[in-house]
Structure 1
């Protein structure tokens, strides 16, 4: 009895490991993300597995994938669309202008820390393979080893630091981690972040007030000058007639008077 039970346990464990290797060996996590200067992120995340392994034990691909996905930590939420091709099946999560404070999950996060953006994707085996670990805790490490990742993140600023294996091209970082390849502790990148939009707007408002005040003051001055010019032009002109002198007034006869010529002869000098 004990021998039979032991053999049965070994067979179940072997079958579990075989299924684990099949499922996780064909599982890929791909992402293409763009971080924008307004602290939002857009892009896609694709989680797929090989059809041939999802349909083992007469399961549908939907059922097989749903069971497999239970071994993946929570992904950043977003609208999901079905993805399938002749060899793979899965789901694509679409992100469009998602605020960074909403793009934060157990499996992946992008946060802003002051003037830096920090992208992190932990590859801790304890975060993956939760369901298969119920059979054997060592399955988690095996699950992670057999997964593959291809992650691309583009930042609005210069990339300052990147974890081992990351390839930097201008403002973009790409990681390619294949199956059966030892995984690093995480995928991580740090990039420059521009001034926050609210701060930039405040600077524009504050800085823009001075020119407007100057323009308004200049306009008022010009209006005052224009009014002054108009008033000066509308004043009556002054005549060029000179004012009579006091001497002219004294010699001029009074109105209505008659001037009688003098008849006296003063005579010659020395007379009488």
Structure 2
């Protein structure tokens, strides 16, 4: 007789838990999950982003490293599927650093999530960024993980994130600059969490309001036309009856 070995309940639980954990991780990325970026060398990470009144984001992200392993991983970065018309990735090499420059134009907030997911270095993501709208308020949140980079390498690590909103910044943990801009300078040996918010009209609501006005205007024109046509017809009938 052949013995049938039942799956060990603990192993099954671990497998189920592993799948649940994976789902949570994948779901959480859009809500900004910080990933560990282990570096044996130095890093350049700079981002400049500008939010427009139509809730789209344009800008540039530079990410480069001075170690061959990380540089080779960066060379494999590709444009996310479906964003070929809005995202351009070019090689970068300067001062011993090799990496990629990512240029993007008028990405929706959902497309920004997709782009953030695309920057993967050996299974880790050095940063995460996300935009969300709630009513008239647009919120930015993100993180830059430099916990794998020794704190004593601050002089050799260049990291900065700049963000501009179409209206004044109402709340942030960054440094407010000129106009409607804010910036963060992440430090090696730590995880820097970023948040900022600004309020301006929802373009979807504005578009609906415009169509409402157009619709009301069209209805008024039809009504006026109907009244004028009726008066003209009545006046013509009166002349004929005389």
Which bin holds the TM-score, normalised by the shorter protein? 0.5 to 0.7
TM (norm. structure 1) is 0.56
**1:47–1:75: structure 2 CA closer, same or farther, 3 Å change rule?**
farther
- Asked whether the 8 Å contact 1:159–1:168 carries over to 2, the reply is no
Alignment of 1:152-163 (within 5 A): 152-163=162-173
- The aligned residue for residue 232 of structure 1 is 238
Distance 1:112 1:91, change over 3 A: same
Separation in structure 2 between the aligned mates of residue 159 and residue 116 of structure 1, nearest angstrom: 10
- Which structure's residues are more often strand, by fraction? 2
Runs of 5+ consecutive residues of structure 2 not aligned to the other structure: 1-38, 81-86, 117-124
Q: CA RMSD in A?
A: 3.4
**The residue matched to 1:213 in structure 2 has which SS?**
helix
- For 1:81, the equivalent position in structure 2 comes to 90
Give the C-alpha shift of residue 91 in structure 1. Answer: 0.8
Question: Structure 1 CA distance, aligned partners of 2:144 and 2:88?
Answer: 24
Q: Which of 1 and 2 has greater Rg? A: 1
Aligned pair partner of 1:66 in 65, 69, 72: 72
Tell me, which stretches of 5 or more residues in structure 1 are unaligned? 1-18, 130-139, 237-272
Number of aligned residue pairs: give it. 184
Residue 44 of structure 1 deviates from its aligned partner by 0.9
- Higher RCO (CA 8 Å, separation ≥ 6 residues): 2
- Which deviates more from structure 2 when the two are superposed, residues 151-160 or residues 82-91? 82-91
Residues 58-109 of structure 1: per-residue CA shift (max 9 Å, x gap): x6xxx66126x59xxx999553111234654321012122221231235221
1:150 alignment counterpart: 160
- Counterpart-to-counterpart distance in 1, 2:133 and 2:153: 29
Q: What's 1:5 paired with? A: none
Q: For residues 157-189 of structure 1, give each alpha carbon's deviation from its aligned partner in whole angstroms, at most 9, with x where no partner exists.
A: 22111214x133222212345x66x75732322
Report if the CA contact (8 A) 2:90-2:101 is conserved.
yes
- Residues 36 and 143 of structure 1: is their aligned pair in 2 closer, same or farther, counting only changes over 3 Å? farther
